[in-house]
Amino acid sequence: MDYKILEHKKGIIFGALDESSIAWKVAEKAKQAGAEFTLTNAPVALRMGKINELAEKCDTVVIPADATSAEDLENLYKVSMEKLGGKLDFVLHSIGMSPNVRKGKDYLGLNYDFFLKTIDISALSLHKTVQTGIKCNAFNEWGSILALTYIAAQRSFPGYGDMAEAKSLLESLARSLGYHIGTKHNLRINTVSQSPTFTTAGSGVPGFDKFFSYADKMSPLGNATADECANFCVMLFSDYTKKVTMQNLFHDGGFSSTGVSQDIVESL
């Protein structure tokens, strides 16, 4: 993408960990499109990833923040506006983690304390991010907030565990937030439902490689890549989509609208 459709736009990108992260790709594409932004992730994630390399590449800074903490988020917005020299035009929420999935808990044997952490980290953090940003008067009018989701919010995928509930709530929160931030602040918010992608989080789901192949065969256009998702996000940050809000946008090569493909039929 050589078009500077984000020139003069400022934002925050949550969730970049390493080169496999969709958030990492979004940062690269947003930089190419002319945007300025800060990067953030939870302190524990910063110790595991390579986000400082991305910050150097994008000529920006990393501001540690736990997205479940209003105090951390307030500091994130304050420092970001100081570093960027003004209010924000876009935010990417690329946050998801399930202790139950990580520990291999069967769906009928979920640990409920873990379940609450899944919901807090993977869904409620979106509401906290938006609410805190409004409180901090951090957004320019017509700004764009995006959260990454997955079709398991609508359909049953056995290995996805309690992340399915978290993504369902995430999408519902985006719809509810969209009304309030739209009518009061002229802000928009959408969720992007991406194809299965070989990210650090996605690859942790049991049987992911087999499902990736299945989805690729099911999708008329094949699975959407992380780079393609990043291009889509950049477009949604831009003024070309300033009246698109409260939508769950499938970026999945047609998987979500396909009953069965000929490739799958022939493989049975």
Residue 1 lies in a domain: no
Q: What is the pLDDT of residue 198?
A: 83
- The predicted model gives 18-24 an average pLDDT of 95
Alpha helices by DSSP H, the chain: 22-32, 43-48, 51-57, 70-84, 99-102, 112-119, 125-135, 163-185, 208-218, 226-237, 262-267
Share of residues in the chain with pLDDT > 70 (%): 97
For residue 224, the enclosing domain spans 10-267
Residue 165 lies in a domain: yes
Specify the length of the chain in residues: 268
- The whole-model pTM stands at 0.95
Give the per-residue SS3 of 27-41: HHHHHHCCCEEEEEC
224 DSSP assignment:
P
Tens-digit pLDDT profile for residues 57-96 = 999 999 999 999 999 999 999 999 999 999 999 999 999 9
Q: What is the CATH number of the domain that holds 151?
A: 3.40.50.720
The Cα 146–Cα 92 span in angstroms is 5
Q: Is the pLDDT of residue 164 over 70?
A: yes
**Total domains in the fold of the chain:** 1
Q: Is the pLDDT of residue 14 over 90?
A: yes
Q: Is the pLDDT of residue 158 over 90?
A: no
Least confident of 15-29, 121-135, 190-204, 240-254: 190-204
Neighbours of 219 (CB within 10 A): 21
Residue 5 lies in a domain: no
Tens-digit pLDDT profile for residues 191-211 = 999 999 987 666 666 677 888
Residue 146 lies in a domain: yes
Residue 237 lies in a domain: yes
Q: Is the pLDDT of residue 262 over 90?
A: yes
Tens-digit pLDDT profile for residues 24-33 = 999 999 999 9
Is the torsion defined by CA of 69, 133, 241, 172 positive or negative?
positive
